[in-house]
Structure 1
Amino acid sequence: MTFKQLEALYWIGELGSFALAAQKLHTSQSAVSKRVHELEQAFDTALFDRSQRSARLTDKGEEMFVLAKGLLDQRNAAIEQFGRAEVVARRVRIGVTELTAMTWLPRWVELIQVHYPQVTLEPDVDSSVNLREKVLADELDLVVVPDAFADTRIPSKQVGAVESAWMCKPGLVEAGRRIRLHELAQYQLLLQGPRSGTGLLYDSWMKNLGVQPAKPIVVHNLVALIGLTVSGLGVSYLPREAVAPMLQGGLLALLDVTPALPAVPYVAMYKGEHRSSLLASVVMLAQESCDFSRMFQGD
Structure 2
Amino acid sequence: MRPSLQQLETFYWIARLGGFHAAARHLHLTQPTISARIQELEDILGLKLFERGGHRAVITPVGRDVLVQAEKMLRLSDDMEQISKRRNPMRGLLRLGANESTAMSGLIELLGRLKAQYPDLRIELTIDVGANLSRKLNARELDIAILSDPVSAPHVVDVAIGHVDLAWVASTQTVLNEQALHPAGMAALPVVAMPSPTTICNVVMEWFRAAGHEPENLSICNSMVMMIKLVVAGHAIAVLPRAVVDAEIKSGIIRTLKVKPPLNPLMYYVSYLRQEPGLADGTLVTMAREVLQQSGLLLPLTLPLSP
TM-score range with shorter-chain normalisation?
0.5 to 0.7
**Residue type of the partner of 2:158?**
S
Deviations 1:91-120 (A, max 9, x none): 111000111111100111112122221221
Within 5 Å, give how 1:157-176 maps onto structure 2: 157-174=159-176
CA–CA distance in structure 2, aligned partners of residues 149 and 254 of structure 1: 30
**Residue type of the partner of 2:296?**
S
Gaps of 5+ in 1: 1-64, 81-87, 295-299
8 Å contact from structure 1 (residues 147, 266) kept in 2: yes
TM-score by length of 2: 0.63
> In the alignment, is residue 276 of structure 1 matched against residue 277 of structure 2?
yes
Aligned partner of 1:293 in structure 2 is 296
Pick one of 266, 269, 278 that aligns with 1:267.
Answer: 269
8 Å contact from structure 2 (residues 190, 219) kept in 1: yes
> In the alignment, is residue 154 of structure 1 matched against residue 156 of structure 2?
yes
Within 5 Å, give how 1:49-88 maps onto structure 2: 69-73=82-86, 76=87
CA–CA distance in structure 2, aligned partners of residues 210 and 67 of structure 1: 49
**What percent identity do the matched residue pairs reach?**
22
Within 5 Å, give how 1:130-149 maps onto structure 2: 130-149=132-151
Aligned partner of 1:228 in structure 2 is 230
C-alpha root-mean-square deviation of aligned residues, in Å?
2.7
CA–CA distance in structure 2, aligned partners of residues 126 and 92 of structure 1: 16
**Pair 1:67–1:177, CA change in 2 (3 A):** closer
**Highest relative contact order (Cα 8 Å, sep 6+), 1 or 2?**
1
CA–CA distance in structure 1, aligned partners of residues 235 and 269 of structure 2: 32
**Residue type of the partner of 1:263?**
P
**Pair 1:211–1:120, CA change in 2 (3 A):** same
Gaps of 5+ in 2: 1-77, 298-307
CA–CA distance in structure 1, aligned partners of residues 227 and 114 of structure 2: 30
8 Å contact from structure 1 (residues 198, 264) kept in 2: no
Deviation at 1:271, TM superposition (A): 3.1
CA–CA distance in structure 1, aligned partners of residues 112 and 79 of structure 2: 37
8 Å contact from structure 1 (residues 154, 271) kept in 2: yes
Query: Alignment length, in residue pairs?
Result: 218
**Residue type of the partner of 1:185?**
A
Q: Indicate the SS of the match to 1:159.
A: strand
Deviations 1:115-148 (A, max 9, x none): 2212211111112222112112211111111125
Aligned partner of 2:210 in structure 1 is 208
TM-score by length of 1: 0.65
Higher CA-based Rg = 1
